[in-house]
Amino acid sequence: MIHPETWLKVQPQGLFCEPGGFFIDPLCAVDRAVVTHAHSDHARPGHRAVLASADTLALMRARLGEDRAGETQQALGWGETLRINDVEVCLRPAGHVLGSAQVVMAYGSARVVVSGDYKRAPDPTCVGFEPVACDVFVSEATFALPVFVHPAPKAEIHRLLNSVALFPERTHVVGCYALGKCQRLITLLRQAGWDRPIWVHGALAGMCAVYETCGVALGELRPATGAAKRELAGAIVLAPPGALADRWARRLADPVVGMASGWMRVRQRARSRGVELPLVISDHADWNELNATLDEVGAPEVWVTHGREEALIHAAARRGIRGRALRLVGYGEEDQGAEVEAVGA
């Protein structure tokens, strides 16, 4: 086996696969990029060639604009194999957001899986994570502390609906990311039987439209901007976290402010943002999922891109898995702005 350390390297632009001549989720514009998913910290504008899943490419075009989403875009279906120079590349679902993929690379009889961001909890808006046996597993570690155990999303949605039942005259506004979290909340609400219109902030509408185009049904959505206060009494409104404390929120009827994020597990974070109804709903693997995934893929080595790498590497070492911190800087800010980052994932 040609050890992956000799051919998959950390460079200032990001993780570089030398024999393939491509970067994975590069942090700046490069000649050839393989992109795991369309969040802004992974899918940067201006690459020459981009390889990704078809849904990720559709989301990138909507976010970045047709001309900034890669001069040449190539879609790779789940399980299709493509040879890029000396490397065989395929994509497997990561279960993080629509289109999110793990990048599987085979070279010199070694197989490396770069998982991007991932989660293991079922999510009706995307294809579930598929464990792939490998020699090196590259993982994020956003929630890699034992305190981060995400509850069942269904239970969190019931807390929201209970609050709506308790305060039928108030608007329930829930802060969430434009890409992924918003559409997941909507489908979770639909599954829980909420069939009334869901009101969305203008900043979320574009991504919802792409999801619909890609076949994820969201039910009736209405623009919250411009709605009368009386229409929003008793309604559920979704908005980007930044809008909650904004002038924008004044249109809401005596709002109950919620936020859907894995960080809501940290009560202090919720309190400091004036969140009354913290919903612990995350698109990232929690502590148990991270560790279970390491065991499932069976890699003797795990490389950790960003997050709480020490804790994960320590837990891996106890099971005989060699850990390595890549300390990639620039990931973890899923949407623009430090404010969003603070309540991010």
**Site residues for Zn ion per CB under 5 A:** 39, 41, 117, 331
What are the angstrom distances between the C-alpha of 260 and each of 35, 77, 126, 178, 185? 25, 31, 18, 12, 8
Query: Please, where are the H alpha helices in the chain?
Result: 54-64, 153-166, 181-191, 202-213, 229-232, 267-272, 287-297, 309-317, 338-343
Q: Give 33 or 110: the residue with its C-beta nearer to Zn ion.
A: 33
Tokens of 111: 């197989």
At closest approach, how far in Å is the CB of 160 from Zn ion? 23
At closest approach, how far in Å is the CB of 291 from Zn ion? 19
At closest approach, how far in Å is the CB of 206 from Zn ion? 17
At closest approach, how far in Å is the CB of 75 from Zn ion? 19
H-run or E-run covering 87? strand 87-93
Residues 6+ apart with CB under 8 A from 166: none
Q: Give 291 or 305: the residue with its C-beta nearer to Zn ion.
A: 305
Q: Give 28 or 161: the residue with its C-beta nearer to Zn ion.
A: 28
At closest approach, how far in Å is the CB of 284 from Zn ion? 8
Q: Give 92 or 251: the residue with its C-beta nearer to Zn ion.
A: 92
Q: Give 113 or 256: the residue with its C-beta nearer to Zn ion.
A: 113
Q: Give 181 or 251: the residue with its C-beta nearer to Zn ion.
A: 181
Residues 107 and 86: their CA atoms lie apart, in Å, by 7
At closest approach, how far in Å is the CB of 26 from Zn ion? 13
Q: For residue 322, give the nearest of 334, 314, 311, 331 by alpha carbon.
A: 314
User: Given the DSSP bridges, would you call strands 87-93 and 198-200 parallel, antiparallel or unpaired?
Assistant: unpaired
